[in-house]
Amino acid sequence: MTTAPGNSPTGTASANPHKTSHISIFGEAIEYFNEAAANLDLDPNIKRILTHPSRQVIISIPFQRDNGQFDVYTGYRVQYSFARGPAKGGVRYHPDVTLDEVTALAFWMTWKCAVVDLPFGGGKGGVTCDPRILSNGELERLTRRYAAEIIEVIGPDKDVPAPDVGTTPQTMAWIMDTVSMHNRGYTPGVVTGKPLNVGGSRGRVEATGRGVTIVIEAALEKMGKSIEGQRVVVQGFGNVGSVSARLLRERGAIIVGLSDQYTGMYDKSGIDVEAALAHMQSPKNQRRSLEGFPGVANVSNAELLEIPCDILVPAAIENQLTADNARKIKARIIVEAANGPTTPAADGLFAQSGVTVIPDILANAGGVTVSYFEWAQDRIGFFWKEREVNERLADVMRENFDAVWDLAQNHKVTLRTAAYMLAIRRVVDSLTTRGIYA
């Protein structure tokens, strides 16, 4: 296990051997922080601390393939801040995982937890692998070795991982079991997003998409509008995108565009989301894709973003809305269900043109909120009904959306800047109250 030195705010410390060149995602994330910090007159010493991760761990993960061959993958765990509590954040399995990306995601998690007032810091992990080419047995061996390598730095009071891109509740169950076996005790609170029968929480699977829906309703109410009849495009039809689309349709929105990693589709009269889900889950659909869904016009993911609509929900991956396509976006409300889908350049263009952007650290915080509920339930050994979970989620999302909205109005800034301002203020308050151990 290697602990890397803290990244500089430009992100140059995290070169990725799997990519020849890329824009630093962490560097872009810092831009949003700096804009908000400028509105807070932040102490330079505090700013210096908050723009460096607390810990970056790099590990090698040897594991045996089904054919007996050994492969070695690279794994990461970044713990950005512990000011408000143990680090919290997902683990992603993807071929393009880098230290820079994981650091940026841990940075975002710091502010995401703070903006909805959770007692967590920010963390994130990942393995540079393609889970689609690994068997279930290979995934289990990979996961258990990853968990064993980071066991010293995770735990209910240290760092609490969760599912992310390419990982599932089963992945979390393997991590929980590995840690429990090493500790010779039952440790359900070491991860969240677990199956219900090993300490998971009701409502967790839908939580991120449900949170997206809650903030859309809250924003429309502030604007004097109803969700009924709003034309919505959702990019990304995984867990978050599909739940968001289904719940929005149930509330009367018209879903005019959907996409996954293989294809996009458009129907101005509205897409039957339940039928699209059934199509993906059909035993004949080996790729679990929207490909071949009948009665719609096929479009690329790039074209999907430019479809005429009222609300655009990017729920896929980072850097989808850029300076190159921002002026072509026709939506008047953008709700960031994914992490980092909008570059700073595009964000500035949206602000100039009056497009309302509900930022990722607020819009998709439903998942980590219910993860907090799961962590709390695991620690007390008492579990809530799904209705209670959903009601508490709505309370948290609504209360903190209102706080961000009011801050934006009072300071005449965007919702993103206001969200960062609120989150930074909360982290700084915790940090200064505790004091700097130096």
The catalytic residue positions are 124
Neighbours of 328 (CB within 10 A): 11
Cα separations in angstroms, 331 against 233, 242, 307, 414: 9, 19, 8, 16
Q: Which residue type, as a one-letter code, is found at position 63?
A: F
Task: Enumerate helices (H) and strands (E) in the chain, giving the number of each.
Answer: 14, 13
Cα separations in angstroms, 321 against 199, 301, 313, 345: 38, 11, 11, 9
Three-class DSSP category at 282: coil
The total number of residues shown for the chain amounts to 438
Q: With contact defined as beta carbons under 8 Å apart, do 127 and 61 qualify?
A: yes
> Which backbone phi and psi does 70 adopt, to 5 degrees?
-100, 130
Nearest Cα to Cα of residue 124 among 170, 84, 75: 75
CA pseudo-torsion sign 282, 284, 286, 292: negative
- 327: tokens are 């002026």
* Whole-angstrom distance, CA of residue 244 vs CA of residue 234: 8
DSSP H or E run through 327: none
Cα separations in angstroms, 72 against 20, 75, 142, 326: 21, 10, 9, 40
* Whole-angstrom distance, CA of residue 375 vs CA of residue 384: 12
Q: Which residues contact 215 (CB under 8 A, 6 or more apart)?
A: 335, 358, 362, 363, 397, 401
Neighbours of 379 (CB within 10 A): 12
DSSP H or E run through 334: strand 333-335
* DSSP per position, 368-406: HHHHHHHHHHHHHT----HHHHHHHHHHHHHHHHHHHHH
* Whole-angstrom distance, CA of residue 411 vs CA of residue 36: 11
Three-class DSSP category at 270: coil
